[in-house]
Amino acid sequence: MDIFNGIAQRLNALKIAFHYTPELAPESSLHPDELASIAHASPLRRREFAAGRLCAREAVRTLGVAGDISLPRGQFRQPIFPPGIAGSISHTDGMTCAAAAFARDYRALGIDIQILGRTVSEDASAQILNGDEMEWISIPDGILTVFSIKEAFFKMTRCLTDTPYWFDKVSVRRTEKSDTLICMYSTPAGIFEKETEFRRNDRYIFSFCTLRADEKLTGINL
Ligand SMILES: CC(C)(COP(=O)(O)OP(=O)(O)OC[C@H]1O[C@@H](n2cnc3c(N)ncnc32)[C@H](O)[C@@H]1OP(=O)(O)O)[C@@H](O)C(=O)NCCC(=O)NCCS
């Protein structure tokens, strides 16, 4: 689990709390309003959802927020964190993690975890990768890396806009840092660029990006 300790340390240095669990959680741990939003899902999905809420609650508590914490689901299926808190949740193959920070520090966060070694179909690759990104096909787990980065970016930005968008609007480019790519999001107002970090070991890749409270998101952050 070294990767998760490293992630927690990196995020803590940015004043972001992080919590993870390799276990599903009982649905009895959900608040009634949380359970209502997942009532029609399979039992396994309800336990996965409960694990996400458990991690998110722990992350929020780590910030020092006390009391009863409920995280219902929003109109874009995003988790609604308590007032004054920004956060994000991700799952893969039984592993769940969540991050939370004060909204006075961050307007939005996006995290994503993927299990490595999965084969990505040609069709899926064609949806994930744009133009110059085709080089990632020949890199081991390269497509999953780009996918994870874009999913984290998507979660950070999606709730700030009423305009849905898809992978074709976001491209990545390398930086001098081996654990950071830049997401370039094309909006009618121009291209918004955002550094997105990732960490990987032989089993997982974890990506995250942050929008500081004072940062503008060109084109959609009016
Ligand atoms: C929303 C989405 C990113 C979730 O990713 P996923 O691979 O299904 O699964 P993850 O486990 O990583 O994330 C799921 C969690 O993301 C969160 N989430 C869901 N929709 C979200 C949204 N619109 N905004 C922010 N977070 C969201 C939820 O917490 C969810 O877990 P929960 O339902 O248990 O609460 C994905 O389903 C999706 O719709 N992607 C859009 C495709 C796309 O265009 N992506 C990239 C564009 S650059």
Could you say which DSSP state residue 20 is in? E
Q: Separation of 164 CA from ligand 1 center, angstroms? A: 13
CATH class of the region 112-212: alpha beta
Q: Separation of 23 CA from ligand 1 center, angstroms? A: 20
Q: What pLDDT digit, counting tens, does each position of 42-71 carry? A: 999 999 999 999 999 999 999 999 999 999
Residues 52 and 88: beta-carbon distance below 8 Å: no
**Whether pLDDT at 27 is above 50:** yes
Q: What pLDDT digit, counting tens, does each position of 183-204 carry? A: 999 887 788 899 999 999 999 9
Cα separations in angstroms, 78 against 34, 61, 108, 140, 158: 12, 19, 12, 31, 9
Q: Do domains 2-103 and 112-212 have the same CATH topology?
A: yes
Res 16: pLDDT: 98
Q: Residue 155 CA: which ligand 1 atom is closest? A: 25
**Whether pLDDT at 150 is above 50:** yes
Longest dimension (CA), the chain: 49
**Whether pLDDT at 222 is above 70:** no
Q: How confident is the model at residue 163 (pLDDT cuts 50, 70, 90)?
A: confident
Higher pLDDT, 11 or 169: 11
Fold of the CATH domain 2-103: Ribosomal Protein L22; Chain A (3.90.470)
> What residue segments make up the domains of the chain, in order of their start?
2-103, 112-212
Q: Is 55 in the pocket of ligand 1 (CB under 6 A)?
A: no
Cβ burial 156-169 (10 Å sphere, 16+ → b, else e): bbbbebeeeeebeb
Q: Is 91 in the pocket of ligand 1 (CB under 6 A)?
A: yes
Residue pointed to by tokens 């070694």: 117
Q: Is 112 in the pocket of ligand 1 (CB under 6 A)?
A: yes
Q: Which two tokens stand for residue 81?
A: 């964190």
Tell me the CA end-to-end span of the chain in Å, nearest whole number.
40
Cα separations in angstroms, 107 against 3, 37, 103, 122, 164: 26, 24, 5, 36, 19
